[in-house]
A = this chain, B = another copy of it.
Amino acid sequence: MSNREPPVRYHHGDLCNVLLEAAEILLEHSGPAGLSLRAVARSAGVSHAAPYRHFRDKAALLEALSRRGFERLQHAIERAAAGAMQNPEQQLVEAGVAYVRLALSHPEMFRLMFGGVLPGPVGEYRQSTFEALAKIMRDGIARGAFRQRDGEELALAAWTSMHGLAMLAAAGQLSFSPRDGVQALDDTVRAVARNVIYGIAQ
């Protein structure tokens, strides 16, 4: 019973990723209150001290989790932009739709990412997400679709609007609209995005 087995590798040798996946499931299922390091360890089938071999403390695990979220967000924005290559305005609208959809399908993850409770280089991940938006704006300026201004300023205007919508949606605070469902949310995002593009002024 000892020679037949491969080297034991104490639990799959990939505990780090197993912990992160368990943490994400716990987070989206039970909220931040349910995401205890001990529960993550239980869920992964190891002792409550085992995670400390892979993460300095709970904050380090949350930061790693948050990083995953930022990577997905960046890719979602880039995919949306790639789907409307010849039309900067449509790129912007679809990037917003992707942004808000992700927030609504992973609300707890979004609150973790933008909750600001995390130490460490979260800023870098956020920066790369912003950069994906800024690229759309720079291309749009180059094509003459957007105003000839600092691309970062336009990107900030677009980002804050989509981000505010996403955070309100993630927190379930957009219920003043009688419409519901994903299609209704997409419509709301498009309406807000169009107002950002064309302005509110008469």
Contact = CB atoms under 8 A, between A and B. Distances in A.
A160 B32 CA distance: 24
Contacts of A114: 167-168, 171, 173
A10 interface: no
Interface in A124-172: 126-127, 130, 144-148, 152-154, 156-168, 170-172
Interface in A61-92: 89
B89 A202 contact: no
B202 A199 contact: no
B192 A160 contact: yes
B201 A145 contact: yes
Interface residues of A, number: 53
Interface in A84-137: 89, 107, 111, 114-117, 122-123, 126-127, 130
Q: How many copies, total?
A: 2
Nearest to A134: B176
B196 A197 contact: no
A148 B123 CA distance: 40
A156 to B, nearest CB: 6
Interface in A20-64: 31-33
A182 interface: no
Contacts of A8: none
B196 A198 contact: no
A145 B115 CA distance: 36
Contact of A115 (B115, B188, B201): B115
A195 to B, nearest CB: 4
